[in-house]
Amino acid sequence: MTNQLAMSTAPHSRRLPNLKVLAESALLIVLIYAVMAVVYVSVQPSALSPYAIEALLNNSLPLMLAAAGATFVILQGGFDLSVAGIISLVNVVIAVMPVDGPLGALANLGVALSIGIAVGAVNGFLVAGLRIQAIAATLATMIVCQGAALLILGAPGGYVPDFMVYDLTGSVFGVPVALVIILAVIALWSLYRRTDAGRNLLAVGQDRKAAGLSGINVERTEFFSFVWAGAFYALAAYMLAAQTSTGSPSAGEPFLLLSFAAVALGGTAFGGGRGGVTASLFGAATLTLMQKVLFALGVSSFYTGVIQGLIMILAVLFAAAVRYAVRSRRVA
Residue 305 has pLDDT above 50, yes or no: yes
C-alpha 113/C-alpha 119 separation (Å) is 10
Q: Which domain holds residue 91?
A: 50-278
pLDDT computed for residue 312 by the predictor: 74
Of the listed ranges 66-75, 167-176, 185-194, 295-304, the one predicted with least confidence: 295-304
Average pLDDT taken over every residue of the chain = 88
Spell out a b/e string for 33-71, using b for 16 or more CB atoms within 10 Å of the CB, else e.
beebbeebeeeeeebeeeebebbbbbbbbbbbbbbbbbb
Asked whether residue 254 is domain-assigned, the answer is yes
Residue 229 has pLDDT above 80, yes or no: yes
Q: How many Cα neighbours within 13 Å face the side chain of 216?
A: 24
**C-alpha gyration radius of the chain:** 21
Cβ proximity of 268 and 323 under 8 Å: no
Residues in CB range of 130: below 8 A, 6 or more apart: none
Query: What is the value of pTM for the model shown?
Result: 0.89
pLDDT computed for residue 2 by the predictor: 43
pLDDT tier, 11 (very low <50, low <70, confident <90, very high otherwise): very low
pLDDT computed for residue 166 by the predictor: 93
| Number of neighbours of residue 18 by Cβ within 10 angstroms | 11
Averaged pLDDT, 320-326: 70
pLDDT tier, 107 (very low <50, low <70, confident <90, very high otherwise): very high
Asked whether residue 225 is domain-assigned, the answer is yes
Question: Any idea of the CA torsion for 315, 321, 323, 325, to the nearest 10 degrees?
Answer: -150
Averaged pLDDT, 274-283: 93
pLDDT computed for residue 296 by the predictor: 86
pLDDT computed for residue 1 by the predictor: 45
Q: How far is CA 98 from CA 28, 95, 162, 167, in A?
A: 42, 6, 9, 15
> What percent of the chain shows pLDDT beyond 70?
90
Asked whether residue 293 is domain-assigned, the answer is no
- Number of independent structural domains in the chain: 1
pLDDT computed for residue 18 by the predictor: 58
Residues in CB range of 253: below 8 A, 6 or more apart: 84, 88
SS3 letters for the chain? CHHHHHHHHHHHHHHHHHHHHHHHCCHHHHHHHHHHHHHHHHHCHHHHCHHHHHHHHHHHHHHHHHHHHHHHHHHCCCCCCCHHHHHHHHHHHHHCCCCCHHHHHHHHHHHHHHHHHHHHHHHHHHHHHCCCCHHHHHHHHHHHHHHHHHHHCCCCECCCCHHHHHHCCCEECCEEHHHHHHHHHHHHHHHHCCCHHHHHHHHHHHCHHHHHHCCCCHHHHHHHHHHHHHHHHHHHHHHHHHHHCCECCCCCCCHHHHHHHHHHHCCCCCCCCCCCHHHHHHHHHHHHHHHHHHHHCCCCHHHHHHHHHHHHHHHHHHHHHHHHHHHHHHHC
Asked whether residue 301 is domain-assigned, the answer is no
pLDDT computed for residue 21 by the predictor: 55
Asked whether residue 259 is domain-assigned, the answer is yes
Max mean pLDDT range (6-10, 32-36, 311-315):
32-36
CA nearest neighbour of 29 among 285, 291, 307, 272: 285
Asked whether residue 201 is domain-assigned, the answer is yes
Asked whether residue 149 is domain-assigned, the answer is yes
Asked whether residue 143 is domain-assigned, the answer is yes
Residue type, 312: M
